[in-house]
């Protein structure tokens, strides 16, 4: 195996687009990229993502779940694992749950109308304005957490332990 780095194969005056492809499933079987750096490990399986809001209407966390899991419900306690602190279970109760995953292309075909650039810009501005001041401030902002469901965490552990 040989790896070629971006700096070796590109000219600084014509920089490359930085992209990463993470394989999470092959023929319906979840898979995991192993690495010593937990932040670089893939999270296995087909997933969907939800934005969880507090009672004030601010998003406080994004939650990854396996696609086949039932969606979280507003007002219902969830046991989750925050990325970067996977060793501990955290309990949260969202006031509102917003599904974020949208499929615009399937099998090379547009399956849902694409939003216009002004619509994308407005959506981004509204989303930023909804963030709490603690997350939005420029000086020492509070990190915005991303978490996974307990079921997704169990799959992650099973694949990680099964590969040793």
In order of their start, the domains of the chain are: 19-124+145-162 (3.20.140.10)
Local confidence band at 35 (pLDDT 50, 70, 90 cut-offs): confident
Residues 48-76 have pLDDT tens digits of 999 999 999 999 999 999 999 999 999 99
What is the chain's mean pLDDT, rounded? 88
With a cut of 80, say whether residue 111 has pLDDT above it.
Answer: yes
pTM summary value: 0.81
8-22, 38-52, 80-94: least confidently modelled range? 8-22
Confidence class of residue 161 from pLDDT cuts 50, 70 and 90?
A: confident
End-to-end distance of the chain based on CA atoms, in angstroms? 21
CA distances from 164 to 34, 115, 158, 159 (A): 10, 45, 10, 9
Query: What percentage of the chain reaches a pLDDT higher than 70?
Result: 86
Pair 157, 86: CB distance under 8 Å = no
Query: Is residue 156 scored above 70 in pLDDT?
Result: yes
CB 64 within 8 A of CB 43: yes
Q: Which helix (H) or strand (E) holds 53?
A: strand 47-53
CA distance 162 to 157: 8
Q: What is the DSSP letter of 141?
A: P
Q: Are 41 and 34 contacting, i.e. CB atoms less than 8 angstroms apart?
A: yes
CA dihedral 145, 151, 156, 162 (to 10 degrees): 160
What is the CA angle 148-151-153, rounded to 5?
A: 50
Report the Cα 15 to chain-centroid distance in Å: 27
- What confidence tens digit (pLDDT) does each residue in 116-127 have? 999 999 999 999
């Amino acid at each position: 195996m040989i790896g070629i780095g971006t700096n070796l194969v590109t000219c600084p005056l014509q920089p490359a687009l930085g992209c990463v492809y993470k394989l999470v499933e092959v023929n319906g079987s979840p898979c995991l990229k192993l690495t010593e750096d937990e932040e670089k490990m893939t999270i296995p399986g087909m997933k969907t993502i939800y934005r969880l809001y507090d009672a004030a209407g601010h998003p406080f966390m994004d939650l990854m779940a396996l696609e086949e899991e039932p969606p979280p419900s507003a007002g219902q306690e969830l046991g989750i694992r925050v990325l970067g602190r996977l060793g501990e279970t955290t309990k949260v109760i969202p006031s509102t749950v917003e599904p974020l995953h949208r499929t615009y292309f399937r099998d090379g075909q547009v399956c849902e109308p694409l939003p216009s650039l002004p619509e994308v810009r407005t959506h981004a501005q509204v989303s930023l304005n909804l963030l709490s001041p603690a997350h939005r401030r420029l000086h020492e902002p509070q990190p915005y957490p991303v978490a996974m469901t307990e079921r997704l965490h169990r799959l992650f552990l099973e694949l990680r332990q099964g590969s040793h």
